Amino acid sequence: MPNNQKNNDDIGRIFLGIDPGTHRLGYGAVVFKRGKFGLIKQGVLEIKNKGYTPGQLIDIYDTVSSLIDEISPDEVAVEKLFFSKNQTTAMTVAEARGVILLAAAKKSIKISEFTPNTVKQSVSGYGSADKKSVLKMISIILGLKDFKPIDDASDALAIAITAALLGRY
């Protein structure tokens, strides 16, 4: 095997979770190796163009493409939309999701999509868990004490962990 080709047995599989939004995107990258998780990176990406414009979609694409290049995930997982009372918000988030999916697809990376309830069920064991319960389980799963990421990043980590857990079966 060439030296520059990664061996998943040695480094594990890398999962990048993304919580889509139009003004900021939560992201969380984890490695899953031999039944254990490790945190690679997490945070929130602020989108430069404020107000909803076509330029904002370009910013989302460029930002996510750069993140994918930096992390080199084996899989990108994105939260599916749930029906919202605010249809305008739902439509703009759907467009952002499409751009995120495009960024991953253009790099030939496996894509997974999960509903919020599936993510909560996978991480906490309860599909209607609140954010505090999900964060507590993320902290336990990743072995981190006093872990307090921004909500969007926490959601993205839960999405990445779900991809790893459900991808095993």
Active site positions, annotated: 19, 79, 152
133-146 as b/e: b if 16+ CB within 10 A: ebbebbbebbeeee
Q: What is the 3-state secondary structure (H, E, C) of the chain?
A: CCCCCCCHHHHCEEEEEEECCCCEEEEEEEEEECCEEEEEEEEEEECCCCCCCHHHHHHHHHHHHHHHHHHCCCEEEEECCCCCCCHHHHHHHHHHHHHHHHHHHHCCCEEEEECHHHHHHHHHCCCCCCHHHHHHHHHHHHCCCCCCCCHHHHHHHHHHHHHHHHHCC
Report the C-alpha gap between 42 and 48 in whole angstroms. Answer: 19
- Looking up tokens 């993140």 gives 67
